[in-house]
Amino acid sequence: MLETYLKDLEEVVNIDCGSNTCDGVTRVAEIMKRHYDEIGFATELVDLGDKAGRGLFATNKPGAEKFDIMFNAHLDTVYPDGTVAQRPFRVEDGTVYGPGCADCKAGVIAIFHALKNARKEDLDRLAIAVCYNPDEEVSSLSSREWLATMAKKARRAVVSEPGRRCRSRRQQPAGRPLRHSRRRQVHNRSHQAPGPRRQGHERDRRRHPRRHGLQHGSRNLLHSHRHPSLERRGRPRDRRRH
């Protein structure tokens, strides 16, 4: 299973697909469309305008108006054309390197492999939506309306963006490697309606808007002895002063 995962990861990492490289982003979307077609999901390349590559929608319940869960990850990276030629995908001393291998290609492939290996009874029972957007690194300017529309149809949502357990305020260096092992860990953001925030969290969100919601993780590393965690949030109750 690990070897297949890494093979699929290598294929999408070794494509220049910065947010403005629409052709490259669309190539990644087409690769993932092929994967989901092979496991029997209904798929659609989503046209989000001429400023972004294609997004991808996949579901095990075509025609469903509501979904039990929606999975999201993004197909674009922050790297310019030519980056793949300079430092392509490689595995060295148990660590995977490559542009966008953690943010967010590992999440893209992790969602696919989770559904590929899911139990048939669960796939029969649940209506699942997969939404890969092409422009997260530029604030999802072309895809945010589509994502918001899809999220309203889902009871739960899981975003497979890499996270980290460290509480430091230092910014994460670009290109930090992604560790892999037979037991993979992806600490995800779970995007539901905003929930109660601990003291100081709102201040942290203003200082580091890209990090909002990343309360669990491991510095963009997948360690062998960590377990997946999912943060669930609900709508805040109306707090009235008495």
pTM of whole model > 0.85? no
Alpha-carbon distance of 225 to 206, in angstroms, equals: 33
Question: In which band, very low, low, confident or very high, does the pLDDT at 1 lie, cut at 50, 70 and 90?
Answer: confident
Question: In which band, very low, low, confident or very high, does the pLDDT at 99 lie, cut at 50, 70 and 90?
Answer: very high
Place of tokens 């697909």: 17
pLDDT, one tens digit per residue, over 38-67 is 999 999 999 999 999 999 999 999 999 999
Is the pLDDT assigned to residue 34 strictly greater than 80? Answer: yes
Q: What is the DSSP letter of 186?
A: -
Question: In which band, very low, low, confident or very high, does the pLDDT at 230 lie, cut at 50, 70 and 90?
Answer: low
* Cβ atoms of residues 115 and 126 within 8 Å: no
Is the pLDDT assigned to residue 139 strictly greater than 60? Answer: yes
Task: Give the chain's end-to-end CA distance (angstroms, integer).
Answer: 57
% residues pLDDT > 90 (the chain): 66
pLDDT score at 45: 98
Name which of 14-23, 55-64, 171-180 the model is least confident about: 171-180
Where is mean pLDDT largest: 32-36, 175-179, 207-211, 224-228?
32-36
DSSP 202-232: HHHHHH-GGGTT--SB-TT---TT-------
Which tops the pLDDT comparison, 71 or 180? 71
CA angle 146, 175, 227 (to 5 degrees): 75
pLDDT score at 25: 98
Name which of 51-60, 97-106, 153-162, 187-196 the model is least confident about: 187-196
* Cβ atoms of residues 56 and 47 within 8 Å: no
Alpha-carbon distance of 13 to 27, in angstroms, equals: 11
Question: In which band, very low, low, confident or very high, does the pLDDT at 116 lie, cut at 50, 70 and 90?
Answer: very high
CA dist 228 to 60, 158, 160, 174, 217, Å?
23, 12, 11, 23, 9
Question: In which band, very low, low, confident or very high, does the pLDDT at 208 lie, cut at 50, 70 and 90?
Answer: very low
pLDDT score at 178: 45
User: How many CB atoms sit inside 10 A of residue 20's CB?
Assistant: 16
Is the pLDDT assigned to residue 189 strictly greater than 80? Answer: no
pLDDT, one tens digit per residue, over 68-88 is 999 999 999 999 999 999 999
216, amino acid identity: H
